[in-house]
Amino acid sequence: MAQIAKIEAKAEIKCDPAKLYDFFKYNMTQFVNLAPHIFKGAQLVEGEEGHVGNVKLFEYVLGIIPMTVKVKTEAINDEERSITFKALEGNLMQLYSSFGSKVTFTDGFIKWCIEFEKANDLAPNPDIYAILAVEISKGLDAYLLNH
């Protein structure tokens, strides 16, 4: 039986963490405008931005491979400035029987904790997603510093 594993990634930030947290909470569909080289589409398909239970569909490129993922917001904790997401369907779910992440925004850092369960022994660790998370975080930090 497969087991749940965890990897973590941190991105150093200069921006106010509350500003980054608010962007993730209310404006994630705007990643298409901020990182068009990665995100090709993003839409809210269920619920309301900023609320637990909302579902978003992302079209993105991983390396050179076009991918999709439908993501549900599982938890929002304003006190600790964290948001927990769970992948529901998409290309990602061919490799992992479960995949989720908790993003925490603190002074100086965005911390990503990715929990996953491989669908089979051939599935790789999702290190590329940790790298992508850091790249997205740094890009958003740079953007918000200037706006």
β 5-12/39-46 pair status: unpaired
Tokens 């965005």 belong to: 110
Whether the Cβ atoms of residue 87 and residue 94 lie closer than 8 Å to each other: no
Would you state the pLDDT for residue 79? 96
pTM, entire model: 0.94
pLDDT exceeds 90 at position 63? no
Domains of the chain in sequence order: 5-145 (3.30.530.20)
> Does residue 2 register a pLDDT over 80?
no
Give the span between the Cα atoms of 85 and 99, in whole angstroms. 9
| AA letter at 102 | K
Q: What's the mean pLDDT in 124-143?
A: 94
What's the confidence (pLDDT) of residue 141?
96
| Strand-strand pairing, 65-77 and 39-46 | unpaired
Asked if the model's pLDDT at residue 88 lies above 70, the reply is: yes
Residues listed for the chain = 147
Write out the H or E segment, with its range, that includes residue 138: helix 127-145
**Which residue reads 């997205």 in tokens?**
136
User: For position 77, what pLDDT does the model report?
Assistant: 98
pLDDT digits (tens, 9 = 90+) for 31-54: 999 999 999 999 999 999 999 999
